[in-house]
Amino acid sequence: MTGGQLPLTLPHRPALGREDFLTAASNEQAVAWLERWPDWPVHALALFGPPGCGKSHLLAAFAAAQDGVVIIDRAALTVAMVPDLVEKARVVAVDRLDDGDGGEDALFHLWNLTKETGRHLLLAGREAPARLGVRLPDLRSRLSSVLAIGIGAPDESLLAAVLVKLFADRQLKVTADLITYTLSRSERSFAAIGRVVDALDRASLAAQRAVTVPLARAVLEALDTEER
């Protein structure tokens, strides 16, 4: 490779199967409820928690473990697509529930049609559905009846385990010191450490060197500068 030449970067597909999802005290209740499906006491279940706690990853792991799970972002949901979604799915999972600007008619229609047809509805967002600023009274009433399961922010042991797994997914060999250093200087969220691993992978490939603490220091300083 000539000096300054950028390496060919192939897209990395993270492992999102159930066996790839790490369970800890912060998320074990949510995992247990998903593993009980289809034996839920109500037709709708909601997962809520802070950004980066693993909600989207858990939805993807659930979809990988079960046939007939369709995931859609709230912002992309329209009334017109609801019948087709419900026809194809056993579970319709609506992610980023807080991010939909309006669209209450679509969510209301989805709620009713999944219930009428014996499907299940899975919701995920930062806040419990009952705390959303919903304007439609009937939708607000339905969301208040959801079985809502909280997911806590990941603790250091879980973040360390996830960090090890992310490096392993990319076949990068790292030391315990590198894991400790990276965690001590990263935001405490799955999303943040995912960005760090991606940046370290690219930097390692570009420099044709192993992922070490000095490389991590340089990458984290660069990321910190970019975010300011």
The answer for 149, left when phi > 0, alpha when psi is -120 to 50, beta otherwise, is: beta
pLDDT at 92 over 60: yes
- All domains of the chain in start order, with CATH: 25-150 (3.40.50.300), 156-227 (1.10.8)
Q: What is the pLDDT of residues 168-219, one digit of tens each?
A: 989 999 999 999 999 999 988 888 898 999 999 999 999 999 999 999 999 9
Distance CA 59, CA 88 (A): 17
Contacts 24+ apart (CB under 8 A), 36-39: 37/62, 37/66, 37/91, 37/120, 38/90, 38/120
The residue ranking higher by pLDDT, 133 or 178, is 178
Distance CA 81, CA 104 (A): 14
C-beta separation of 48 from 30 below 8 A: no
Model confidence pTM above 0.85: no
What is the share, in percent, of the chain residues with pLDDT greater than 90? 70
The dihedral of CA 105, 111, 117, 120: what is its sign? Answer: positive
Residues composing the chain: 228
